[in-house]
Structure 1
Amino acid sequence: MPTDFTSLDQPFSNKINIGKQTFLYFGGTAYLGIPQNREFLQLYITGLQKYGLNNGTSRSNNIQLSIYNDAEAIAAERFKAEAALMTSSGYLAAQLTAKNLSQNGAVLFAPATHPALWLQNQPADNRSFTTWAQETVQHINNATEKNWVIISNSMNNLFPEVYDFSFLNQVNPEKNIFLIVDDSHGIGVNNSGGSVYESLPRQKNIHRIVVASMAKALGVDAGLVLASNEIIKALKNTNEFNGASPSAAAGAYAFIHAEGIYQAEWEKLQQNTSYFATKLDSRWKFTANFPAFLIDDAEIDQKLLKHNLLISSFPYPTKKSLPINRIVLSSWHERADLDELIYAINLVV
């Protein structure tokens, strides 16, 4: 049986074929199955035919495609924000936002904030999010600084936990806060298939900014920033935004026209997640409605591999650490796939 799956020459889906063997795959971040969705692929092909393969000119060029402004308007409407901007990657969206908005106050990073948002190497923070949140409120309220920039993920997708930002309601309203939240793993999945933007505290002293990779649930190689009209306008005036080429227009076209596809796949994902969760015992860790399931068993990936089942497994937080073993579901999984996985789990765990 092969043990190296790092040089595949086929697209990811619920099944991976190597030689004469077929493996069921339960990993990755294609939560809505978009890379294998035929309707979405057809939209992308239509976009390719309409706009070509790529667009190597910057958004400040005197000749531009209107599709990017259209996609940004749709994204803002769909995810309940005043305005949006799109970049060529989630990393660029994060760096563009963190670099420029960090100038607005003292910067605080939540534990496990994604490196894409770092301004420099961040020291390890082993506090829980809840403990960090409580201590952050005290720190801000007791400090003389008035302006603050708080940077965090919307969730921890490795040790599944969706974060609650209501703690910021306890901050002195005289403090001015720029809250930057990375929703890369939540957008399109959590918040009923929307984004975390709408659920963030709506206080006059809190500026809400959400950044996200669109390459996970949404299936588009692009980055997204959601914020107020004022903040988006300022970010669009930066050298980073104007100097970078945009994402492929075909992806923007597909995103605009795929709302019904996203909704249908989200509903199927919820059915898969709910069904699978009812079959697990207390040794498994997961959060409601998110399709990642963690177990403290360093060998379960190899046990399941013997049954031709592939799950997410990699050492964390360092290469010398024990692996984090998670089962990640997608809307592309069929009920038969889940039943086969459940049967194997009951044999080996």
Structure 2
Amino acid sequence: MNIEDKFKNLNKALAPSIEIEGKNYLYFGGTAYLGIPQNTSFIKLFIEGIKKYGLNNGTSRGNNVQLGIYNEFEAFTASKYGTESALVSSSGYLAAKLTVAHFANRGTLRYAPATHPSLWINGDPGVQGTFTQWTEDLLREINQSKQQKWVLVSNSINNLWPEIYDFSFISKINPGKEVILIVDDSHGIGVLNEGSSVLKSVPQTDHVQVLLVASMAKALGVDAGLILGPQRLIEELKQTDEFIGASPSSAAGLYAFMHAGDIYGQSYEQLMLLNKEVSLFLETSNWHFAKDFPVFLYKGEDLEKKLLKNNILVSSFPYPTTSSPVINRIIICSWHSKQQIEQLKSALKS
């Protein structure tokens, strides 16, 4: 087995440094932006949750005997992110599928470019072009159309070619329209808007109802899915067969999340300090990145091979299909140390 194959068959947890055959490799990939999977204080909270609630919950939310923490968590997250209501599911993928499937027929459906596959209904919608151009064309179409009801689906971020999307366009939609905007904030929640979510930068209007869907398994480090939005729409989702019949996420992770406010705050501050240092270092034409987002796209070739010679692993895979060009990115997480950042900078210089 060559070394590249061994990276695909690890027998230990992902961390900022990975040991294989006695050699340490610095790891600058993945989506654990806040370093929660290796945060000892968070792990302590998680163990407290296990002792209180057990390893998992094999009953559905429709069961006549239920754990109260699920309702407590939903009230907590709705308050935390400033929405009327919330729904927790076993994964972000399920949260996205459930939401889009339920509301797709409520109006004319339009997808933004580069939406995540979990948001698709009938395969890749094949929308091309930039997000900015899409919003301009969409505004023109909606405001000039006789169609009153619309359903818009988008990511909050393009995390592969780092870009944070601007949703100010919805304030320009004709107030006579009825719009549901579904935004996948899986890569933004916990990172965007000073560690909050995309919702802080989405205009609030009476005629556009916003539903946020997200995986909590990335920056937030919890294996669960989250839906945030107006109470009426969330209650509709809670009446679906998929929600009632599915087993929920582990209560232990939700318990840890609810008690980890200071941990998330400190981790975010650490991330921004490291991110600023790398951003200043990579201000060259060969790199593309968005302000305050810890993903750095290399526009040249063979970055992975060059850094591997220095025992550094980065995110490198073809996208959006297996025959597409390889996308090379450096991803900074809170678990990285200042010394590890210096090692990365030294390798990049060489």
Scaled by the length of structure 1, the TM-score of the pair is 0.98
Alignment map for 1:1-349 (pairs within 5 Å): 2-4=3-5, 5-280=7-282, 281-347=284-350
Shift of 1:123: 3.5
Which runs of 5 or more structure 1 residues have no equivalent in the other structure? none
Structure 1 runs (4+) deviating above 6 angstroms are none
Shift of 1:254: 0.6
Greater CA deviation, 174-183 or 315-324? 315-324
Alpha-carbon separation, structure 1, partners of 2:195 and 2:126: 31
Shift of 1:2: 1.8
SS in 2 for 1:217: coil
Determine if contact 1:213/1:223 at 8 Å carries over to the other structure.
yes
Overall identity of the aligned pairs, in %: 50
Shift of 1:271: 0.4
Greater CA deviation, 115-124 or 310-319? 115-124
SS in 2 for 1:59: coil
Give the partner amino acid of 1:71: F
Determine if contact 1:298/1:322 at 8 Å carries over to the other structure.
no
SS in 2 for 1:3: helix
Alpha-carbon separation, structure 1, partners of 2:172 and 2:341: 43
Change (3 A) 1:123 1:233: closer
Determine if contact 1:187/1:193 at 8 Å carries over to the other structure.
yes
Greater CA deviation, 308-317 or 197-206? 197-206
Shift of 1:124: 2.1
Q: Quote the RMSD (CA, aligned, Å).
A: 1.0
Shift of 1:199: 1.8
Alpha-carbon separation, structure 1, partners of 2:77 and 2:200: 13
Which runs of 5 or more structure 2 residues have no equivalent in the other structure? none
Shift of 1:282: 2.9
Give the partner amino acid of 1:266: Y
Determine if contact 2:314/2:329 at 8 Å carries over to the other structure.
yes
Determine if contact 1:87/1:241 at 8 Å carries over to the other structure.
yes
Shift of 1:59: 0.5
Alpha-carbon separation, structure 1, partners of 2:114 and 2:163: 12
1:221-263 CA-to-partner distances (Å, cap 9, x unmatched) read 0000000111111111111111111000101111111111111
Shift of 1:126: 2.1
Shift of 1:283: 1.9
Shift of 1:298: 2.3
1:203-238 CA-to-partner distances (Å, cap 9, x unmatched) read 110001100000000000000000011111111111
